[in-house]
Amino acid sequence: MNLNASVFISILVAIFVVRTLRQFLDLPGRIPRLNQVLGYIWVPGVALYGFSQLIGWKTDQLDELYMLFLLAVVALVLVRVQTYRPARTLLLAIAPYLLYSLIELISTLISNRLLEQYDNVFGNSQGFAIIWLVTFGFIARNQKKHLEKERLEREAEEEAKRKIEVQNAALELMVAERTASLTQQTEELREALKELKVTQDQLIQAEKMASLGELTAGIAHEIQNPLNFVTNFSDVSTELLTELEEEQQRPDRDLALEAELLHDLRQNLTKITHHGQRAASIVRGMLEHSRASTGERQPTNLNQLADEYLRLAYHGLRARDKSFNATLLTDFAPDLPLLEAVSQDLGRVLLNLLTNAFYAVQKRREAQPDGYVPTVSVRTRPLPGGGVEVRVRDNGTGIPEAVRQKIFQPFFTTKPTGEGTGLGLSLSYDIITKGHNGTLNVETEEGRGTEFIMELPG
């Protein structure tokens, strides 16, 4: 290879090495001024070649001299950025090769025979220096990757930290605003709670009044029957008295007829007394239901109570719908023990369950007018532990599964607006479970009917 080509290749190698060094060590950011000077690394090579041509120095060591200069420049750069760990590794990598190149150049200038005499030593040294350079070059490369990874992780952490600080500042602002808002809302909720308690009391009272309205309508129709009997028997008794007076005024009195008339009068008066007492018991039941519960427990005949409210609830619905008719079934246990209970409260529960039952069969009759017989039944039986079970069953519309879990919740109702407050079953549940330590469950099948099961301890 001629001198011109050798020097040209050395200059290209120098430019490549400087470019690689810039990228590897990030010289524009670390030493910007020296980085600019490195851009002229080719100038010494061209100057050295021109100087040699000027003085007539025709030697093959010109490119080696330039490469030694390049290694010295690289070493200088590495020393300048030795705080960077890969730079220190690269400095360690080129040190043997730089030392070898310097010794070889000096030996060549002193005597070519010396270089030829120790050719194997120089060859082995050069191989070792190259292997050392390549090995530590890879080590520096791995160090750079590791440091780059750490840098990226650190930047990510700093970015995350910065975002967290921004978010914390935003959250603190939001917390301050939210605290002020919550303080205001707390005051508003406090006022709303007061209004809600008042409204709740009003709704409970409205439910009681609605229950009283159902009871009153039933009583008005139920009491009509004994009053009609009293009126009829009074009219018949008046006629019998007239016949008795006429018979007593005859000269030939028929004592047997007078005795028969007196017997009929006595029977009529007995029936009048019976139906009068029946009307009085109905009125008394109405008064007990409308009176606020004192919580006083008294021996209560659930058979009588259930039968009473079954008919009252039925007539209450018929008061609103004259065309409505239903089959009433009762299965009262004759040996049912008296139960210590608050009869007014149990009456409210029975009235609510029975009113709901009649409402359900009425709605099914409206949807299925042909071939359907509305039926409501009440069954009582004693429990083995001494308590009493009451079952109220209807063959009405049933309760959907999605609704069944909510029926005992306050204010929940499936009735249209204006037909229910949603408190009837809730109050009934509280009366049975909390007031009497019993249970109130429901079994239902949509489209087939519903059965409420009330168990009260003895």
| Torsion 141-145-148-150 (CA) sign | negative
> Domain span at residue 333?
296-458
**What's the CA angle centered on 420, arms 417 and 423, to 5 degrees?**
130
pLDDT of residue 335 exceeding 70:
yes
Q: Indicate whether 208 belongs to any domain.
A: no
CA–centroid distance for 115 within its chain: 88
Taking residues 357-376, report their average pLDDT: 89
Kindly state whether residue 249 falls inside one of the protein's structural domains: yes
Better-predicted residue by pLDDT, 61 or 255: 255
If asked whether residues 352 and 432 sit together in one domain, one would say yes
Q: Are 155 and 280 part of one and the same domain?
A: no
- Residues 250, 327 share a domain: no
The pLDDT of residue 388 is 92
Taking each helix axis from N to C end, the angle separating 255-290 and 224-249, rounded to the nearest 10 degrees, works out to 160
What pLDDT score was predicted for residue 267?
A: 78
- Does residue 286 sit in the same domain as residue 347? no
62 token code pair = 């010109």
Residues 7 and 153 in one domain: yes
Q: Which residue has the higher pLDDT, 304 or 289?
A: 304
Q: Residue 378: which pLDDT band, with cuts at 50, 70 and 90?
A: very high
Last residue of a domain, one of 268, 291, 314: 291
**Nearest residue to 359 via CA among 405, 392, 313, 328:** 313
pTM, two decimal places: 0.44
Residues 361, 248 share a domain: no
Is residue 177 in a domain?
A: no
140 falls within a domain? yes
Here the CATH number for the domain that contains residue 439 is 3.30.565.10
Domain count, the chain: 3
- Separation CA 426–CA 423 (nearest Å): 5
Q: What is the pLDDT of residue 395?
A: 93
Q: Look at residue 191 and tell me if it is in a domain.
A: no
Domain edge (last residue) among 242, 274, 291: 291
Which pLDDT score, from 0 to 100, does residue 392 have? 94
Q: What is the CA radius of gyration of the chain?
A: 56
CA dihedral sign, ordered 58, 61, 62, 63: positive
Q: What pLDDT does 292 receive?
A: 45
Which pLDDT tens digit goes with each residue over 157-179? 898 898 898 888 888 888 888 88
| 418 in a structural domain | yes
Q: Do both 418 and 444 map to the same domain?
A: yes
Element (H, E) at 445: strand 439-445
Query: Residue 342 domain-assigned?
Result: yes
Query: Domain check: are 285 and 385 in the same one?
Result: no
**Is residue 304 in a domain?**
yes
| Whether residue 97 sits in one domain with residue 15 | yes
Which of 260, 275, 291 is the last residue in one of the domains?
A: 291
Query: What is the arithmetic mean of pLDDT over 139-159?
Result: 85
Instruction: Verify that 121 and 265 share a domain, yes or no.
Output: no
